Amino acid sequence: MAQTSVLNGAFEGRVVGLISGDFVVPGYQRGYRWGRPEVRRLLEDIQASEGATYYLQPIVVKRLGDNRWELVDGQQRLTTLFLILQLIRQNALPSAEVQYQLQYDTRPRSAEFLQAPSAHGATENIDFFHIFQAWECIEEWFEKQGPGKTLAAINLYKALSERVKVIWYEAPEYVSSTDLFTRLNVGKIPLTDAELIKALVLSRSQDLADQTDRAQAMAAEWDVIERDLRTPELWAFLTGNPRPEATHISLLLDTLAGDLKGHERQPFHTFETLRHQIVDDADEFWNKVVDLHSLVLGWFEDRNLFHKIGYLVATGSRFEDIVDLAKGSKKSEFDAKLNYQIRNRLRLSVEDLRELSYESPNERQRLSAALLLMNVETVRKQTNSTERYSFRAHATGQWSLEHIHAQNAEELRTVQQWLEWLRLHRDALSSLPNVQQVDRLVLEERINEAMTDLTEEKFLELELELAPYFVPDGGGTAESDVHSIANLALLDSRDNSALSNSWFEVKRLEVLKRDRGGSYIPVCTRNVFLKYYTGERAQQVHYWSMQDREAYFNAVEREIGPYLLGDAAEVSRQEENL
The H helix count followed by the E strand count for the chain is 27, 8
Contact 75, 184 (CB under 8 A): no
Determine the pLDDT at residue 256.
Answer: 95
Which of the 8 DSSP states describes residue 247?
Answer: -
By C-alpha distance, which of 216, 289, 200 is closest to 14? 200
In this predicted structure, what is the pLDDT of residue 434? 79
**What's the pLDDT score for residue 5?**
45
Query: CB neighbours of 2 closer than 8 A, spacing ≥ 6?
Result: 244, 245, 246
Could you give the C-alpha distances from 152 to 85, 88, 93, in angstroms and in order?
Answer: 13, 9, 11
Q: Are 394 and 483 in contact (CB under 8 A)?
A: no
pLDDT at 571: 47
Q: What does each of the 578 residues of the chain score in pLDDT, given as a tens digit? A: 333 444 445 567 789 999 999 999 998 888 899 999 999 999 998 988 877 778 787 888 998 988 899 998 889 999 999 999 999 998 788 888 899 999 999 888 999 999 999 999 999 999 999 999 999 999 999 999 988 889 999 999 999 999 898 888 888 777 777 777 766 665 434 457 887 788 788 877 766 655 567 878 888 899 999 999 999 999 999 999 887 776 899 999 999 998 655 556 666 788 878 988 988 888 999 999 999 999 999 999 999 999 999 999 999 999 999 999 999 999 999 999 999 999 999 999 999 999 999 989 999 999 999 999 999 999 999 988 889 999 999 998 888 888 888 766 667 788 888 888 888 888 888 888 878 888 889 888 989 999 999 998 898 888 888 888 887 765 545 455 788 999 999 988 665 566 777 888 888 888 888 888 888 899 999 999 888 998 776 567 787 888 888 999 999 999 999 999 974 444 445 555 55
What is the residue type of 348? L
